Each structure stands twice: as C-alpha cells, then as structure tokens.
Structure 1
Amino acid sequence: MGRPKKVIIITDGDEYAKKTMDYLSQQLGGTCLAYLSDNPTHASEKQVTEAIMAAPEEPVYVLIDDAGAPGPGAGEKILLGLAKNENIQIMGAIAVAAHTKNAEWTRFTLAIDQDGQLTSNGISKEGIPIPEIGRINGDTIYSLDQVDIPVVVAIGDIGKMQGKDDIKKGSPITRKAIEIILERGGYQ
C-alpha cells in the first residue's frame, strides 16, 4: 500500500453535523463519509475503513457519535480501530462539546468559541467558553486522549451554536476548525 489516507475525525453524527460536513467538504476539498454517520453510529469499523480506503479525495472526514452512551461507544471503538490501522493517518479531530451526564472529557490543542475566537478554555455545547482550561466535555470524546492525534480542536455543537455556525452563514466555526487542522497538519 502507498502512503496512509489522511483522516479528520468529527465527534458528532447528527443531521446538522452531516449537512455541515457535506457542505464544508465540497468547499474545502476532501471526502465526507456523512452517509455512514448516525446518532449513534451504526456503521462498523470495517465499513468505515473500506470507505476511507475507497475515498476519492483527502482528507476523509469521518463522523462518529455515541449519542450519550457511557464509556466507549460504537463511535469511539471505530476511532480506536482507525488509530491502529497503518493505512490511515488521523491528522486531526474536531471535539464537539455536549451536555454530557457521564462527565466524559478530553484534552484539546485549542478551542474556538461561537464568535470564532481561539481560546484555551473549554467550550460549552453553545460555543461559550467555560472556566475549565484545556478540557472539553462531550459524549464521544473520551477516546481522543487514548490516541495520538496531532491537532484536536474543541468547538460547540456543529451547525448550531445559537445560530452562529449555521450552514446558511457558511458554518464559520466548523470551517475554521478544519482549516486549523489542515494548516497545522501541513496538508496541501
């Protein structure tokens, strides 16, 4: 096999995330596997891996979602499997905040608030900075800390954030997160 396929993980799989990521992949380039995403994720690791390998354009955007399931859910198990695959390079992840009851959290490289400002504070689901520094709460993010991912960008709920990430506005917060991952990952 040639060089590994470059992948960006998105820890959200609802309808807003699917539409936003389909739209942004058309704007920024790459292949979005939104058709395999769900809330929660139902696709198998094998299905996701085969779709990544067949993707015509990189980066490949993989949406995973555990829908609030405690502990490592289906989406996180896919992430752990992809991280071990030598034919796949996870170049970054967008860690999406949630009102999690399970107190699952992860560290991140940087966060973007609902106004597009970079911050070291965690972010709420609405995209508002919280007092916690360097940590974000969510329901599909626990396994991010167990994997070597060069850039993890924390944001609020994709396509929402009190309307500030609406697709009609070009989903500027999610777009900025992807651009940061591409830039820091040296992707052309």
Structure 2
Amino acid sequence: MTAETARKRRVIVITDGDKVARKAVESATRRIGGRCISLSAGNPTPVTGKKLAQMILSTPHDPVVVMVDDRGAVGMGKGEQALWEISHDDRIELIGAVAVASNTLGAEGITVDQSVDRYGRLVDGPVDKNGYPEPPGNRYLEGDTVETLTQLPIPVIIGTGDTGKMQGADHVRRGAPITTQALLEILRRAGNNGVD
C-alpha cells in the first residue's frame, strides 16, 4: 500500500437508503466498528456527491459506510449521481459495495462477486429481494441503483436482499446480521477485518 493510498478514506457503498435500511445500516456499521453517514440515507439520496464527499472526509476514521438510493428511477438518478461523484474524488477509495436486490421494473441488473443469502451463507450468484438464492442460470442481481456499480472502480460487489428486511432475516432488532456479514466480507477482501 502506498502512502497516497493509505491517506485515502475507505468507503463502502450500500445501494439502499429508505428508513428501514438506514436503521439496519447504522446497526451493521456499528457492529463492524465503522462510521455510517446517516445523512446519505433517503429515498432518493438527499445529498449531492460533493456534500457526501465532504462528510466522508470529515469522519475521524474509516471504513465509512454510505447509502445511495434512486427510489426506483431507471437511468442516472440522484443516488447514482452522488455515487459517481464520490467515486471520482481522489481522496476517497471505494473498497466495495453491497448491491441490494429489489423489484425495480426495467432494471438490467449486474453480476456480483458473491452474495450473502437470508441464512447468512456466502453463495455464488445473485439473491432476490427476500435473500433467497436465485435459480441456477440467473446471473444478474436486479435492483435500484445497482447498474452504476459496474462502471466504477469498485473491487468487490456483494449482493444481499432488501436491507433491514428479508422477511425479518435482516431486522435491526437482530443486529442486521445479513448486512453486517456483507460489510465484513468486503473488509476481509480488502485485507482488513477491522478498522483503522
């Protein structure tokens, strides 16, 4: 790792931002010892990429977890625009993303490195909104805000079902275990099981 890379703020992106997701992401981020930018939550994302970058850089340590959401908009929505902007900030390193499955109509979907299913298992291929592994042959995780992920320098993409939901499997009262595991897997692949 170079000195320049070491100075960058490490960020994990989650492609969901509604009220339920916000509580789950806050809980999961606490569990991994990271910092959650709660103001990034919203449906759609309420802050610009420039403002989001300022908040990321003002946090005392990383990893920093941010939420981006397009509220089902097809094409470049507010969440994707904010994500695009922070990904092109030289002071920020995107170490991974949690791609959240949804029932968004017209979504093309993306391939993921792996997914965490509703039972907490790391599986090859995508899962659906409720965290069930997709049938064999279905290669794409379909969800809001996910298509932009493949166009950005993000080294690992982990799929999950609907953040904080999955028919109770990721409920905040349980500590959002599926989201927590997805974040931990990204950290593991980044070569750090903890925080700076």
> Structure 2 length normalisation: TM-score?
0.91
Where in structure 1 do 4 or more consecutive aligned residues deviate above 4 Å?
Answer: none
Which structure 1 segments of 5+ residues have no match?
none
> Following superposition of structure 1 onto structure 2, how do residues 35-184 of structure 1 map, counting pairs within 5 Å?
35-131=39-135, 132-184=137-189
Please identify, of 97-106 and 64-73, the stretch whose mean Cα deviation from structure 2 is larger: 97-106
Q: In the alignment, residue 51 of structure 1 is paired with which amino acid?
A: M
RMSD: 1.4
Identity of aligned residues (%): 38
Choose between structure 1 and 2: higher strand proportion: 1
User: Matched residues in 2 for 1:63 and 1:186: separation?
Assistant: 22
Q: Determine which of 4, 11, 17 is the counterpart of 1:13.
A: 17
User: Matched residues in 2 for 1:164 and 1:42: separation?
Assistant: 27
| Deviations 1:67-112, CA, capped at 9 Å, x for gaps | 1001011111111111111100000000000101012311211011
Number of residues of Structure 1 aligned to a counterpart in Structure 2 = 188
* 1:168 partner SS: helix
Which structure 2 segments of 5+ residues have no match?
none
> Structure 1 length normalisation: TM-score?
0.95
User: Matched residues in 2 for 1:120 and 1:74: separation?
Assistant: 30
Instruction: Between the two structures, name the one with larger relative contact order (CA 8 Å, sep ≥ 6).
Output: 2
User: Matched residues in 1 for 2:138 and 2:105: separation?
Assistant: 19
